[in-house]
Amino acid sequence: MERCITVHVRDLDFNVVDHGGSGEVIVCIHGLTANAHFFDSLASEWVKDYRVLSYDLRGRGNSSKPAAGYSLKEHAEDLVEILRALKLENVIVVGHSLGAMIASYFTAHYSRFVKRLILIDGGANLDERVISALTPSINRLDHQYESYQTFLSKMKETDFFKPWHQGLERYFNYDVHHMENGSVQPKVRKVTIEEELKNLLAAEITMLHEKINVPVLIFFAPDCLYDKEAFVISKQQCNELVSRYKNYELIEIPQSNHFSIAIHFAKEVAASTKTFIEQVCNLHATTGRYNSDNS
């Protein structure tokens, strides 16, 4: 049964969604303007075999919204304290988009907490063309909509979310403040995202993989942002990582975009994830090939 937990660390409150399940623990990190419920579709599949947690990053959802501190380093330090508070380590870390970048940083610096790393359409240096492609989505953040239905209608018109998926209604309902007069406004602030993007452009994310020595699975969305020039992680970047590091595996989900890969294609991603985890377990048990016992 799903439940929400408030974890107070680093003088901030973090909303953690425990989706239920048992066994190995999967911890999910969402993207730039998203929230913990972005993973609901995947979690509904994963809980059949694993315990699944997701959480709102600082500045998002129902987590605290400090005036500053939106960088990979701060997000990673938030996560390590959340895991310590929940008495968790040796978990499977899943990141989507910005979350994949955070997950890469976290694994590179706090490897004793990570058993396996799964990157969903992200995990490499950010291309400025991505910011241009995301500008319309970012600009809506400070907009107040006259009603939730007006806001939802706008979201339904967005190509990324077509065909409309029932699970998206819960995600977007949680994503906004519901005012007494019936209007709604996104919980995440535009200034937060602007600071985040500024720090991401200056970050050397691809180089983090030099320090990662756990098994890594990368999912690639070929239709990403429906822009042939703008990919949060390009096919070339994916191929370079897989060819350079022996513990890396790449799976392309045909016809998926940056968002649908985790929603409309949740069954495919979940099944591939399970296969990856089981293969790694078998390899470790028989050969000891993967050893992540460093700190």
pLDDT score recorded for residue 289: 42
pTM: 0.94
Is residue 23 within 8 Å of 51, Cβ to Cβ?
Answer: yes
pLDDT score recorded for residue 293: 39
pLDDT score recorded for residue 137: 86
Domains of the chain by residue range: 3-127+204-287
Query: What is the CB neighbour count within 10 angstroms for residue 174?
Result: 18
* DSSP-assigned letter for residue 28: E
Distance of CA 105 to the CA centre of its chain: 13
pLDDT score recorded for residue 187: 98
In angstroms, the first-to-last Cα distance of the chain is 33
Closest CA to 39 of 12, 57, 58: 57
Per-residue pLDDT of the chain (295 residues; tens, 9 = 90+): 899 999 999 999 999 999 999 999 999 999 999 999 999 999 999 999 999 999 999 999 999 999 999 999 999 999 999 999 999 999 999 999 999 999 999 999 999 999 999 999 999 999 999 999 999 889 999 999 999 999 999 999 999 999 999 889 999 999 999 999 999 999 999 999 999 999 999 999 999 999 999 999 999 999 999 998 899 999 999 999 999 999 999 999 999 999 999 999 999 999 999 999 998 666 554 444 444 433 4
pLDDT score recorded for residue 295: 40
pLDDT score recorded for residue 226: 93
Residues 250, 293: Cα–Cα separation, whole Å: 24
Rounded-to-10 torsion of CA 41, 45, 48, 49: -110
Q: Is the dihedral of CA 236, 91, 270, 94 positive or negative?
A: negative
CATH (residue range 3-127+204-287): 3.40.50.1820
Rg (CA), the chain: 18
Is residue 241 within 8 Å of 211, Cβ to Cβ?
Answer: no
178: three-class secondary structure by DSSP: strand
Residues 48, 43: Cα–Cα separation, whole Å: 9
Residue 81 class from Cβ within 10 Å (0-12 exposed, 13-18 middle, 19+ buried)? middle
Query: What is the CB neighbour count within 10 angstroms for residue 243?
Result: 10
Extract the tokens encoding 248: 């890396």
Residues 215, 107: Cα–Cα separation, whole Å: 11
